Amino acid sequence: MTTVKSTYAGSLHVQSTHVASGVSLETDAPIDNHGKGESFSPTDLFVTSLASCMMTIMGISAESYGFRLEGAYAEVQKVMAASPRRVAEIIIDLHFPDGRTYGDREKRVIESAAHTCPVANSIHPDVKKTIRFHY
């Protein structure tokens, strides 16, 4: 069964639609690779998928252990390599809500979930993952 349908729209833009929900997004090539930077680039989505997956699994784990993560957010950076052109490093800073205290148990649950999400487990080991937790 098809999960996503992607259509080349021209001018280095691709329209992708999640088949089950009908939700769409568009990508553009990055400015440093012939694009205009008018939207996410495919490599932006790649690094975003890691942050989103980490936070999803962290949320599932938090619910299972009876605590909350609402308001947590991730800041994501990608570092590109030139030859071959690829993502060499993904840097994610995970920030947690002000005023909320997490004990050692909650921190272990959060960090374990982040490092074991399916996207993290799917990324080639040559891609450096720098994950920082800011409680």
Using alpha carbons only, give the angle 21, 22, 23 rounded to the nearest 5 degrees: 90
Is 52 buried (19+), middle (13-18) or exposed (0-12) by CB count in 10 A?
middle
pLDDT in tens, 44-103: 999 999 999 999 999 999 999 999 999 999 999 999 999 999 999 999 999 998 888 899
pLDDT in tens, 118-128: 999 999 999 99
pLDDT in tens, 2-57: 999 999 999 999 999 999 999 999 999 999 999 999 999 999 999 999 999 999 99
Instruction: Tell me how far CA of residue 131 lies from CA of 49, 86, 89, in angstroms.
Output: 14, 19, 11
- State which CATH number among 3.40.50.300, 3.40.640.10, 3.30.300.20, 3.30.499.10 fits the domain covering 42-134: 3.30.300.20
Look up the pTM and report it: 0.92
- 111: pLDDT confidence band, cut at 50, 70 and 90? very high
Residues in the chain, total: 135
Query: Which among 37, 69, 80 has a CA at the least distance from the CA of 133?
Result: 69
